[in-house]
């Protein structure tokens, strides 16, 4: 029926070994060397170079990031310092203004006080003067009343 | 039902012929070779070389198109070699492992995707190069040579000490391993590819339309896996030779 042995005999079967084997081996080795020249070496070099490039770029970027962070921190600190300074300047200005206000108010009060004193003194002198004048008038009037009552000779 | 008897069965469709164990013999200087294997292997080699040349013709730092694709392939085989052999020693082995993978993968897929059989040759039929036992045995023997070379270069004659590890009792088994490794490598690849092709052929013979499609898709999958397995095992053997049984095993 089916001659399975046909598959295995050396003349014409699946397991027919001949010069194909060594020639194929040589051909394959040649392919290895050829591909090594035109494929593995150039493309491998490119891959390695790219890895190196990416690594270096990553390192550069990291360095730059570090620098940027440091600068940002420095700015932050400077900002804090400047803010504190500005705060102190504002406080000082406010204090000075307060002082000026206080001084002006005091001066004004003093002036008011002085004016008040001066005015009251003037009032006093005018009152005294008025009294003096009135006293003179009283004397004269009393004399006149006396003269009128007693007559001029008696009165003198 | 004489599929294999005359090794040649024709049905009403020209696509659905089945030939097993027939070869297109060439005589080169007294040597007999299987012409159909070389024809398809040259096609595969040409494809790889053209793809490589196209990828490296105008190398850019930011890859695109074919360069991107071939870089992906290179990174894949590099990772494969690195995972098996280790960070320190994998670099000189990338061309060998990578070419094993690429050659077997492109061969298998060319056999599964291209309608080789439409091209008539005087006897036999065109198929994937890995469909021939000579190819797979050649690759497996090269792998054996590679790991012996790796072992001897790394440790000199001390390489033989590996046969006595972990205990001298295992000496016969360790020696036997050197024969079973290429045997299993070559027959696994050969068997899978031939079996896939036969299953597809027989199915096409029985039901010419649509039904074989899932099996063909499965064949694509198997072909890719077999290429990966061959390259991975080759790398693992090389690693074993470099490290020895006594060394720390990374598996």
Global ipTM: 0.82
Does residue B60 lie in a domain region? yes
Indicate yes or no: CB of A25 within 8 angstroms of CB of B142.
Answer: yes
Number of domains chain B contains: 1
Residue B163 burial (CB < 10 Å; 0-12/13-18/19+)? middle
B50 close contact with A: CB closer than 8 A: no
Within-domain flag for B10: no
Winning range, highest mean pLDDT, from A110-124, B163-177, B192-206: A110-124
Residues 6+ apart with CB under 8 A from A81: none
Per-residue model confidence as pLDDT tens digits over B64-83: 888 889 999 999 999 999 99
Q: Which domain holds residue B204?
A: 39-243
What are phi and psi for residue B249, nearest 5 degrees?
Answer: -95, 130
Residue B17 sits at the chain A interface (C-beta within 8 Å): no
Tokens of B95: 């061309």
In a domain, B19, yes or no: no
* Alpha carbons B159 and B161: distance in angstroms, whole number: 5
A56-60, B10-14, B117-121, range with the lowest pLDDT: B10-14
* Calpha distance A129→A132 (Å, rounded): 5
Residue among B1, B251, B226, B187 nearest B108 (CA)? B226
pLDDT tens for chain A, 156 residues long, are 344 444 444 445 677 778 888 888 999 999 999 999 998 898 889 889 999 999 999 999 999 999 999 999 999 999 999 999 999 999 999 999 999 999 999 999 999 999 999 999 999 999 999 999 999 889 889 888 888 888 777 766
What is the structure's pLDDT at B105?
A: 94
- pLDDT value at position B1? 36
Residue B225: what pLDDT? Answer: 93
Q: Distance (Å) from the C-alpha of residue B66 to the closest C-alpha of chain A? A: 12
Whole-prediction pTM: 0.72
B34: phi then psi, degrees, rounded to nearest 5: -90, 105
Does residue B102 fall inside a structural domain? yes
Does residue B219 sit within a domain?
yes
- Is B117 part of a structural domain of the chain? yes
**Distance, CA of B218 to CA of B209 (rounded, Å):** 16
At B44-54, the pLDDT tens digits run 999 999 999 98
Cα separation of B209 and A72, whole Å?
72
* The predicted structure's pLDDT at residue B18: 60
- Determine the Cα–Cα distance for residues B108 and B106; give it in Å rounded to an integer: 6
Find, among B201, B221, B222, B196, the residue nearest to B211 by Cα. Answer: B201
**pLDDT of B175 over the 80 cut:** yes
**In whole angstroms, how large is the CA radius of gyration of chain A?**
64
CB B133 within 8 A of CB A12: no
C-alpha distance from A56 to closest chain B C-alpha (Å): 14
Residues 217-236 of B with CB under 8 A from A: none
pLDDT digits (tens, 9 = 90+) for B236-246: 999 988 886 54
pLDDT of residue B178 exceeding 70, the answer is yes
In sequence order, which ranges of chain A are alpha helices (DSSP H)? 5-8, 20-35, 41-150, 152-155
Residues 13-72 of A with CB under 8 A from B: 13-25, 27-29, 31-36, 38-40, 42-44, 46-47, 49-50, 53
Q: Residue B187 contacts by C-beta under 8 Å, 6 or more apart in sequence?
A: B136
**Among B21, B33, B59, beta carbon nearest to A19:** B33
Given a cut of 80, whether residue B38 has pLDDT beyond it is yes
Mutate to test the interface with A, among B102, B134, B144, B187 (most CBs of A within 10 A): B134
For the stretch B58-64, contacts whose Cβ atoms lie closer than 8 Å and that sit 24 or more positions apart, written own/partner, are B59/A42, B59/A43, B59/A46, B61/A46, B61/A49, B61/A50, B61/A53, B63/A46
Give a yes or no: residue B55 inside a domain: yes
CA distance B93 to B116: 33
Q: Tell me the residues of chain B between 65 and 84 that have a Cβ less than 8 Å away from chain A.
A: 67, 70-71, 74-75, 78
Task: Pick the residue from chain B with its C-alpha nearest to A39.
Answer: B52
Among B22, B71, B139, the residue with its CB nearest the CB of A12 is: B22
Domain-located, residue B148: yes
């Amino acid at each position: 029926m089916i001659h399975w042995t046909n598959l295995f005999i050396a003349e014409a079967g699946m397991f027919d070994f001949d010069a194909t084997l060594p020639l194929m081996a040589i051909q394959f080795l040649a392919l290895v060397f050829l591909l090594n020249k035109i494929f593995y070496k150039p493309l491998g070099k490119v891959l390695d170079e790219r890895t190196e490039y990416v690594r270096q770029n990553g390192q550069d970027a990291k360095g730059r990031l570090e620098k940027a962070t440091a600068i940002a921190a420095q700015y932050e600190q400077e900002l804090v310092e400047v803010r504190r300074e500005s705060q102190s300047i504002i406080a000082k200005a406010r204090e000075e203004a307060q002082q000026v206000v206080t001084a002006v108010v005091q001066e004004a009060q003093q002036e008011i006080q002085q004016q008040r004193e001066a005015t009251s003194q003037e009032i006093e002198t005018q009152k005294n003067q008025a009294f003096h004048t009135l006293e003179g008038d009283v004397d004269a009037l009393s004399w006149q009343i006396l003269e009128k009552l007693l007559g001029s000779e008696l009165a003198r | 039902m004489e599929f294999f008897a005359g090794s040649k069965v024709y049905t009403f469709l020209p696509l659905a012929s089945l030939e097993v164990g027939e070869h297109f013999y060439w005589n080169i200087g007294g040597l007999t070779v299987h012409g159909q294997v070389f024809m398809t292997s040259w096609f595969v080699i040409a494809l790889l070389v053209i793809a490589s040349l196209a990828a490296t013709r105008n190398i850019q730092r930011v890859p695109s198109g074919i360069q991107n694709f071939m870089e992906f392939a290179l990174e894949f085989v590099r990772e494969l070699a690195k995972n098996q052999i280790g960070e320190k020693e994998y670099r000189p082995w990338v061309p060998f492992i990578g070419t094993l993978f690429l050659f077997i993968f492109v061969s298998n897929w060319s056999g599964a995707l291209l309608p080789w059989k439409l091209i008539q040759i005087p006897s036999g039929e065109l198929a994937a190069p890995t469909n021939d036992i000579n190819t797979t045995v050649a690759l497996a023997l090269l792998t054996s040579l590679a790991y012996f070379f790796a072992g001897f270069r790394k440790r000199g004659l001390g390489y033989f000490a590996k046969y006595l590890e972990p205990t001298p009792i295992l000496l016969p088994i360790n020696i036997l391993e050197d024969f079973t490794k290429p045997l299993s490598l070559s027959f696994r690849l050969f068997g899978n590819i031939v079996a896939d092709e036969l299953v597809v052929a027989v199915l096409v013979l029985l039901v010419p339309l649509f039904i074989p499609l899932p099996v063909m898709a499965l064949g694509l999958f198997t072909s890719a896996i077999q290429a990966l397995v061959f390259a991975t095992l080759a790398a693992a053997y090389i690693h074993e030779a470099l490290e020895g049984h006594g060394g720390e095993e990374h598996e």
